Homo-oligomer: A and B are copies of this chain.
Amino acid sequence: MPEPPASAAARDTDRRTYTIGELARRYEVTPRTIRFYEQEGLLDPERRGQTRIYHDKDRVRLKLTLRGKRLGFSLAEIREVIHLYDHAPDGDERQLRRMLDILDEKRAALTRQLQDIQALQNELDDVEARCRDSLASLSRQRASS
């Protein structure tokens, strides 16, 4: 799904707010899941009375979280990335350099993932080839009977 460009319309989108139910439907999770992510420090929505109000920033965080989950990261790891994202510019030099190190580490993990995906795709190619061979030999059998 393509993100809207930074136009007047985008500003509009940025001002939008969401209820927990809206977000849940949009990303196909339950409200319970969203509340759980908040409890785990991944979200921090505004409150109006007791009710949670989600802004676009929260929505992006949720999206990031679900992406991380699809890649097999734990919520703790995802929280780390999110906090990187939010606190990147503040901190002393030592902290910033440490952050760059962590970034390298995360990048390395993603590279490993890429390799794993390639390897798995090759396996799938292999299975598919054998499947197709079998199908072909079945149809040859049929032809010669």
Contacts and interface: CB of A to CB of B under 8 A. Distances in A.
A29 interface: no
The interface residues of chain A, by DSSP majority, are classed as helix
A130 B84 CA distance: 10
A135 B130 CA distance: 55
| Interface size class of chain A, counting residues whose CB lies under 8 Å from the partner chain | 35 or more
A131 B71 contact: no
Interface string A58-85: 0000001001111111000000010011
Interface stretch (A14-22, A36-44, A103-111): A103-111
A34 interface: no
Contact of A107 (B72, B73, B112, B124): B124
